[in-house]
């Protein structure tokens, strides 16, 4: 096995609901409920083709609340990965927190535990790693983990007006805003 040079892995951390697929108040409980946001899967494929590794970090409190079981979550993620493959893209991994807020784990966003697991898995520093979300909680998780926070105005952020987005950004220094995942991919691929 040749020794791999220590140049940084180009890694992007994506939220799931509201970033890749339509956000549902009632949780995505089965593959049929997982609906991609138009252009999102193609955006991941474009990033992959430009050498980026994509991982998902998602809070799935529905497990802790008994609304969805592991088999169903796995089926949803298999469907997501298949749909992404059909669009020419891939995810390296899906990290998730199964806990409810009441369980006070350290992996539930806004805490950075899940991102720290990702950093450990890849053996990288998180500084400068883009983390994409559609809500304030996940932006705070990005900052707590040392990632570069990016807000996409899809999912939960789609309902916010410019003033509300501005107010949200004041709580997250250095966050960047994009129309959607395609706009973010274009921004990341600019030399």
Please give the Cα distance from 162 to 44 (Å, whole number).
26
Total domain count for the chain?
1
Q: Is there a domain that residue 5 lies in?
A: no
What is the residue range of 181's domain?
A: 11-189
DSSP, residue by residue, the chain: -PPPP-PPP-EEEE-SBTTTB---TT---SGGG--BPTTHHHHHHHHHHTT-EEEEEEE-HHHHTTSS-HHHHHHHHHHHHHHHHHTT---SEEEEE---GGG--SSSTTSSHHHHHHHHHHT---TT-EEEESSHHHHHHHHHHT-EEEEESSGGGGG--HHHHHHHHHTSTT-EEESSHHHHHHHHH--
Identify the CATH number of the domain in which residue 50 sits.
3.40.50.1000
Q: Is there a domain that residue 132 lies in?
A: yes
Give me the tens of pLDDT residue by residue for the chain, a chain 191 residues long. 444 444 568 999 999 999 999 999 988 999 999 999 999 999 999 999 999 999 999 999 999 999 999 999 999 999 999 999 999 999 999 999 999 999 999 999 999 999 999 999 999 999 999 999 999 999 999 999 999 999 999 999 999 999 999 999 999 989 999 999 999 999 999 87
Q: Is there a domain that residue 2 lies in?
A: no
Please give the order of strands across the beta sheet that includes 93-97. Answer: 93-97, 53-59, 11-14, 130-133, 148-152, 176-178
Q: Is there a domain that residue 4 lies in?
A: no
Q: Is there a domain that residue 3 lies in?
A: no
């Amino acid at each position: 096995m040749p020794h791999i040079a220590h140049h940084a892995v180009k890694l992007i951390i994506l939220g799931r609901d509201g970033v890749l697929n339509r956000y549902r108040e009632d949780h995505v409980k089965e593959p049929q409920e997982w609906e991609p946001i138009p252009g999102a899967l193609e955006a991941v494929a474009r990033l992959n083709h430009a050498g980026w590794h994509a991982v998902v970090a998602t809070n799935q409190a529905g497990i802790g609340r008994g609304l969805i079981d592991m088999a169903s979550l796995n089926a949803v993620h298999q469907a997501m990965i298949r749909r992404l493959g059909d669009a020419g893209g891939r995810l390296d991994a899906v990290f998730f927190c199964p806990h409810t807020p009441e369980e006070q784990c350290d992996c539930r966003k806004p805490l950075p535990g899940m991102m720290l697991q990702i950093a450990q898995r890849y053996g990288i520093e998180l500084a400068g790693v883009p983390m994409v979300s559609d809500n304030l909680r996940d932006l705070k998780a990005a900052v707590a983990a040392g990632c570069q926070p990016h807000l996409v105005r899809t999912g939960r952020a789609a309902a916010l007006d410019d003033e509300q987005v501005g107010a949200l950004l004041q709580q997250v220094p250095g966050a960047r805003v994009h129309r959607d995942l395609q706009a973010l991919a274009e921004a990341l691929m600019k030399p």
